[in-house]
Structure 1
Amino acid sequence: MAHQSALIAEDIEAYLKAHEVKSLLRFLTCGSVDDGKSTLIGRLLYDSKMIFEDQLAALEADSKKVGTQGGEIDFALLVDGLAAEREQGITIDVAYRFFSTDKRKFIVADTPGHEQYTRNMVTGASTADAAVILIDARKGVLTQTRRHSYLVSLLGIRHVVLAINKMDLVGYDQAVFDQIVADYTAFAEQIGLTRFTAIPMSALKGDNITESSEQIAWYSGPPLMRWLEEIPVEDDLREKPFRMPVQWVNRPNLDFRGFSGQIASGVVRPGDKVKALPSGRESTVERIVTFRGDLPEAVAGQSVTITLADEIDVSRGDVLAEAKAPPPVADQFEATLVWFDDEAMLPGRPYLMKLGTRTVSAQVTEPKYKVNVNTLEHLAAKRLELNEIGVVNLSTDAPLAFDPYAENKDLGGFILIDRISNRTVGAGLLNFALRRSQNIHWQALDVDKQARAAAKGQKARVVWFTGLSGAGKSTIANLVEKRLHAEGRHTYLLDGDNVRHGLNKDLGFTEEDRVENIRRVAEVSKLMVDAGLIVLVSFISPFRAERRMARELLAEGEFVEVFVDTPIAEAERRDVKGLYAKARAGQLKNFTGVDSPYEAPENAEIRIDTTATDPETAAEEIVAWLERGFDPGI
């Protein structure tokens, strides 16, 4: 008995060791609705013996209950786990499944077919080594086939199989297969997808899935499973220059300081010269440390801790790179952007950008065009809506070490995050650095903001008045400036209407123009604070994101938000300029409070309730608040 147990233990250990050394292939299935993606994956799980007996029994029972396959097993039910998916017969979210064969391990992402779930498909494709693009043999190349093929090409997936499914429903006719391949080849050439393998199959019947089909004797290529098992998963990352984004500065004690991260490309050895970016400081690799001991070398894909011979400044988000072939560093880029969010991408609006292990503030400075992925046409665009893809110019508030996405996905792929909700709103690919980012450098000046403010005997700051039209912002701001001026303070008042006569006369009142309006005023305000002035800004500034952007341009304590809080009914009753009447009559579009939103401040430093406080009293309250910080030494 003991001998038998020992043999079983040896068998288990041998199995686990064999399983451990198997290569892993990540692939996705995509295509139009009802092309059979979920059925295909279910068949792969079934044929690879990855279904337990109780699961199989439940599957057979569910198949009879649903009754969509004429009594046969409905393999799609293995993957379509959400109730809504089963009810509608479609895939909504990305479903990940694991299976294994004697030769390889697999993680497959079943991605939705509907256009409105393009973001889900991009998510599934972001980590894939290969793509299986399904086509219904009865329907041929459809719009979603082209859309998903474009995305596969865009995301740099090198191994592609064109799975022409449901061949049983067209009598396994080779002429149908050949025509679809010809149609797809003509389209694929337009998007640069020059290499793919076409396989005729029936996921439901099992033809050309794991074994070659007798029904399709005219096809001499491999069945799908053999193709998945044999395509190479190792790419040329080891042949590229060394790159490692720093995930963590490892300092367990005073005698050890290392930099931990996963190597994105290349090979590194003790003694190699490396450069820390964006600082540009150089040093030599001293040790490559892992949990199991030091290594003589480390390669792409390994997670290690590197110690350096010199004490140079390296932080989380920096990149250690081969000194002789470092990546470029820039703060302005051309990028391809896929928009994920229901709320449109607006140029000039600040987002968080995560590239590798670095997170910075970023904004789209100029949408160049969006792509109609159905026709590949380039269309003029001022914004990107949900699931749209565009090429944009992007600016960051700090320089980034990067590689173009086509050369290195880890250092070229990024996501954009909404600063307020923390939602991931977009994913992008860096194409190249804009030339202007290499030609413009900050000029150091001897006379700084503190010196200018001290000469005026005051603390420079921005007092930002926000509220609905008619709330009384300009009236109160004007009274505040009069009182400050009488006390000998050096001020300037930027009023929304006045600025639109000059600096912003080219802007309208769309959401894009409102964002740009505030961006420009915020930058002007920053310059005036740098000059040592107290700047009073009176703008509706309806969006929290832009007010936050203005705040973050300045140092701590230099931005004072004054919420002039007036109910919409009261503001409309006053209607000094007659704007509400025009808006209600449809003569004034995108008017805040009527057909454009106003996002009230959540944590303003000062709140003025104009229904309970007159302008003079409000001005006195604001001046009293400011007086506590007029001493430049405070």
Structure 2
Amino acid sequence: MTSNIKTDKELTIDNCQLSIKEDMNIVIVGHVDHGKSTIIGRLLADTGSLPKGKLEHVKETCRKNSKPFEYAFLLDALKEEQAQGITIDIARCFFKTKKRNYIILDSPGHIEFLKNMITGASRAEAALLVIDASEGIRENSRRHGYMLSMLGIKQVTVLINKMDLINYDLDVYKKVAYNFSKFLKKIDMNVTSFIPVSGLKGDNIAFSSKNMDWYKGKTVLEMLDNFKTGRKLTDKPFRMPVQGVYKFTKDGDTRRIIAGTVMSGKLKVGDEVIFYPSGKKSKVKSIEAFNKDKQIMSEAGSATGFTLEEQIYITRGEVASILNEQKPRITSRIRTNIFWLGKEPMIKNKKYYFKLGTAKVSVKLEKIISVMNSSTLEHKNKEKIEKYEVAECILKLDRAIAFDLTQDIVQMSRFVLVDDYKISGGGIICEDLEDKETWVRDKVLIRDNKWEKSWISPMERAEIYNQTPALILITGTKKEDKKSIAKALEKKLVKDGKIAYFLGIGNLLYGVDADKRNEIENNKVESLRKLAEVAKIILDAGLILIVTATELSQADLNIIKTAISSENIETIWIGERVTTDIKYNLLIPSTYKLEGAAAKIKVLLQDKGIIFKPW
């Protein structure tokens, strides 16, 4: 069975002129059993957006089962078919009017709402909030209202539903609208309109109600068509979170396709793209699409892939942008508004996971600025965030990510928080804050912009040298003989025909930095940055660089990683006990002899694909 709705932009003939319908994403929220599904079913039916015969089929099924027909059953039937792989296009475009195709993001509960709304998979520009006239305002009505406000959705219409159950009483409608308006004003949310409706009877959904001649406003469909699409996502700076990099080998295919969904902007062949937070850049060689001819352009909303003229190492979670367009924000500290839904409260110093776009990093709650009950709007000074509370707080990510603020590109600002493998909260980023690597990151971006590239690509060097460039950091307490292990590793690799070099910190202090030795000796952060810059040059030449340092911390490692792509760094801790918080790749007890330690590190390099591993 197929739908009569076109899933792509629809072409219609009007007075012999070709026109393209625009799309709009809307979300429908409300308390349980207040009639969301019934209203969606009614919108599908009254706009002729159902698959042919579906309405009659569901009505007949209800008759055979001696069950009264409800429009909510239409949605259930479509979801069941969708799960079986039938009428999948209904999931993309629920209904249409003469003006638009509407994509509904149904939200049956809090967790589902967060999944749909905050992850960025949806781009809701407007919302319908449903309240049962007979039951009145409930906690979830207020919570959903606050979530819409927090997520930056400005166009909201409140549907006061089930008016048929209260005999279309004007006074009840006025009372609900007045009380909810008072609540919304407290959260600085301006509702577009209140509409009295009956999803069951169809009053004021697609057609004006004869039962409520006292209401002179727009129907739901008229109000939806009156919503503005705002600045088109295609007009905003290009953003594509990298989902993955795919390589093909069949029939000599050597393409490396960087794939993802374009969140905003446009991408054309020949554009110079830059990936954040790494700062790597290259030109677009081709734009690829599944089962389609090669494209010349890709734009917001499309799943796409592209190849680069110069191959660079890109990982999942980076964000592709276009050079010279507005760049995203980059930091590991952010001020946020969070809506918490976890069973256990969110507390400081506990590790959670933060997901935005395709990026997933560990995160800790650094500071709670204020906490508010999303239903009562009561403010409290607290040291933890309880279920259903909203908090303004500062989060500290394990590493820097790329994002945008809500006022710039809202889809690149919404995130979810995971606790114990469950989505337990979400929110928006309000401000990017300085972290310990901000000043290093700024210098790196300037450096990369001025970097003179060789005519020999990194891949060509790797093929010629039969190795991947890498920085091997050997650290541990002061008493451990790290330098001897480093030199033993260097000797072993060189004997194997590899191009490796041991760099002592003293080589820098008494050489490149001789004029500022005293200043740098007393500034560990700057000495690490200088080391990273020298390492960057050596790695660019295709070498394996071995460096030793005493008791490196994770903060120290982050500074080095900011200057050098993290995929090129392997960290080895020497000693039985790790005395810092560093995340190491290999631990070697001090009982190992030099040759044994060097051999163990060599195996690590083979496992990581840095050097050839024999069969």
Normalising by the smaller structure, the TM-score range is: 0.5 to 0.7
Aligned partner of 1:163 in structure 2 is 159
Q: Is the 8 A contact 1:59 1:77 kept in 2?
A: no
Q: Is the 8 A contact 1:453 1:531 kept in 2?
A: no
Q: Is the 8 A contact 2:126 2:156 kept in 1?
A: yes
1:276 equivalenced with 2:275 (yes/no) = yes
| Counterpart code for 2:58 | Q
Deviation at 1:403, TM superposition (A): 0.7
Residues 427-476 of structure 1, C-alpha deviation per residue, up to 9 Å, x if partnerless?
2322221134565659999996269465379999xxxxxxxxxxxxxxxx
Deviation at 1:232, TM superposition (A): 4.6
Q: Is the 8 A contact 1:270 1:287 kept in 2?
A: yes
Deviation at 1:240, TM superposition (A): 1.6
Residues 155-177 of structure 1, C-alpha deviation per residue, up to 9 Å, x if partnerless?
22233211112333444344443
Aligned partner of 2:38 in structure 1 is 39
Distance in 1 (CA, whole Å) between partners of 2:253 and 2:200 is 63
Distance in 2 (CA, whole Å) between partners of 1:441 and 1:143 is 47
Deviation at 1:320, TM superposition (A): 1.9
Aligned partner of 2:366 in structure 1 is 365
Distance in 1 (CA, whole Å) between partners of 2:418 and 2:333 is 18
Distance in 2 (CA, whole Å) between partners of 1:382 and 1:164 is 38
Q: Is the 8 A contact 2:35 2:130 kept in 1?
A: yes
TM normalised by structure 2 equals 0.63
Residues 303-328 of structure 1, C-alpha deviation per residue, up to 9 Å, x if partnerless?
33333444444333222213222112
Aligned partner of 1:227 in structure 2 is 223
Deviation at 1:131, TM superposition (A): 1.9
Distance in 1 (CA, whole Å) between partners of 2:485 and 2:224 is 67
Aligned partner of 1:535 in structure 2 is 577
Deviation at 1:255, TM superposition (A): 5.0
Distance in 2 (CA, whole Å) between partners of 1:303 and 1:19 is 15
Q: Pick the aligned partner of 2:95 from 92, 96, 100.
A: 100
Distance in 2 (CA, whole Å) between partners of 1:53 and 1:130 is 31
Distance in 2 (CA, whole Å) between partners of 1:321 and 1:286 is 15
1:56 equivalenced with 2:59 (yes/no) = yes
Q: Is the 8 A contact 2:331 2:435 kept in 1?
A: no
Deviation at 1:13, TM superposition (A): 11
TM normalised by structure 1 equals 0.61
Aligned partner of 2:28 in structure 1 is 29
Deviation at 1:138, TM superposition (A): 4.2
Aligned partner of 2:207 in structure 1 is 211
Aligned partner of 1:374 in structure 2 is 375
Aligned partner of 1:409 in structure 2 is 410
> What SS does structure 2 have at the residue aligned with 1:214?
coil
Distance in 1 (CA, whole Å) between partners of 2:140 and 2:591 is 63
> What SS does structure 1 have at the residue aligned with 2:384?
coil
Distance in 2 (CA, whole Å) between partners of 1:288 and 1:525 is 38
The 1:119/1:629 distance shift into structure 2, 3 A limit, reads farther
Distance in 1 (CA, whole Å) between partners of 2:4 and 2:34 is 40
1:449 equivalenced with 2:475 (yes/no) = yes
> What SS does structure 2 have at the residue aligned with 1:215?
coil
Q: For the aligned residues, what is the CA RMSD?
A: 4.3
Q: Is the 8 A contact 2:59 2:69 kept in 1?
A: no
Aligned partner of 2:498 in structure 1 is none
The 1:19/1:265 distance shift into structure 2, 3 A limit, reads closer
The 1:109/1:530 distance shift into structure 2, 3 A limit, reads closer
Distance in 2 (CA, whole Å) between partners of 1:60 and 1:26 is 34
Aligned partner of 1:196 in structure 2 is 192
| Counterpart code for 1:303 | A
Q: Pick the aligned partner of 1:554 from 551, 560, 583.
A: 583
| Counterpart code for 2:111 | R
| Counterpart code for 2:142 | R
Deviation at 1:15, TM superposition (A): 7.5
The 1:351/1:14 distance shift into structure 2, 3 A limit, reads closer
Q: Pick the aligned partner of 1:123 from 115, 120, 123.
A: 115
Aligned partner of 2:430 in structure 1 is 431
Distance in 1 (CA, whole Å) between partners of 2:205 and 2:320 is 44
The 1:306/1:196 distance shift into structure 2, 3 A limit, reads same
Q: Is the 8 A contact 2:328 2:403 kept in 1?
A: yes
Q: Is the 8 A contact 2:345 2:386 kept in 1?
A: yes
| Counterpart code for 1:37 | K
> What SS does structure 1 have at the residue aligned with 2:397?
strand
Aligned partner of 2:462 in structure 1 is none
The 1:352/1:34 distance shift into structure 2, 3 A limit, reads closer
| Counterpart code for 2:577 | V
Residues 177-226 of structure 1, C-alpha deviation per residue, up to 9 Å, x if partnerless?
34443433333233232242221112232211221111222323222234
Moved more, 19-28 or 156-165: 19-28
| Counterpart code for 1:433 | D
Alignment of 1:116-155 (within 5 A): 117-126=109-118, 127=122, 128-138=124-134, 140-155=136-151
Q: Is the 8 A contact 1:457 1:632 kept in 2?
A: no
Residues 495-550 of structure 1, C-alpha deviation per residue, up to 9 Å, x if partnerless?
xxxxxxxxxxxxxxxxxxxxxxxxxxx998999x999664389xxxxxxxxxxxx9
Residues 265-315 of structure 1, C-alpha deviation per residue, up to 9 Å, x if partnerless?
122333434322212234444443435334443322223333344444433
Aligned partner of 2:16 in structure 1 is none
The 1:255/1:328 distance shift into structure 2, 3 A limit, reads same
The 1:36/1:297 distance shift into structure 2, 3 A limit, reads closer
1:237 equivalenced with 2:241 (yes/no) = no
Distance in 1 (CA, whole Å) between partners of 2:297 and 2:4 is 28
Distance in 2 (CA, whole Å) between partners of 1:364 and 1:176 is 44
Aligned partner of 2:80 in structure 1 is none
Deviation at 1:133, TM superposition (A): 1.2
1:354 equivalenced with 2:347 (yes/no) = no
Aligned partner of 1:263 in structure 2 is 262
**Which entry has the higher C-alpha Rg, 1 or 2?**
1
Q: Is the 8 A contact 2:44 2:94 kept in 1?
A: yes
Q: Is the 8 A contact 2:576 2:590 kept in 1?
A: no
| Counterpart code for 2:113 | M
The 1:329/1:258 distance shift into structure 2, 3 A limit, reads same
Aligned partner of 1:302 in structure 2 is 302
The 1:293/1:524 distance shift into structure 2, 3 A limit, reads closer
Deviation at 1:629, TM superposition (A): 7.8
Distance in 1 (CA, whole Å) between partners of 2:269 and 2:22 is 28
| Counterpart code for 2:475 | K
Distance in 2 (CA, whole Å) between partners of 1:449 and 1:17 is 56
| Counterpart code for 1:200 | P
> What SS does structure 2 have at the residue aligned with 1:247?
strand
| Counterpart code for 1:455 | D
> What SS does structure 1 have at the residue aligned with 2:346?
coil
% identical equivalent positions: 29
Deviation at 1:402, TM superposition (A): 1.1
Deviation at 1:100, TM superposition (A): 3.1
Aligned partner of 1:500 in structure 2 is none
Q: Is the 8 A contact 2:7 2:93 kept in 1?
A: no
Residues 89-140 of structure 1, C-alpha deviation per residue, up to 9 Å, x if partnerless?
xxxxxxx89743464554545545xxxx533333344434432212233454
Q: Is the 8 A contact 2:575 2:590 kept in 1?
A: no
Distance in 2 (CA, whole Å) between partners of 1:17 and 1:77 is 23
Aligned partner of 2:183 in structure 1 is 187
Aligned partner of 1:397 in structure 2 is 398
Q: Is the 8 A contact 1:339 1:388 kept in 2?
A: yes
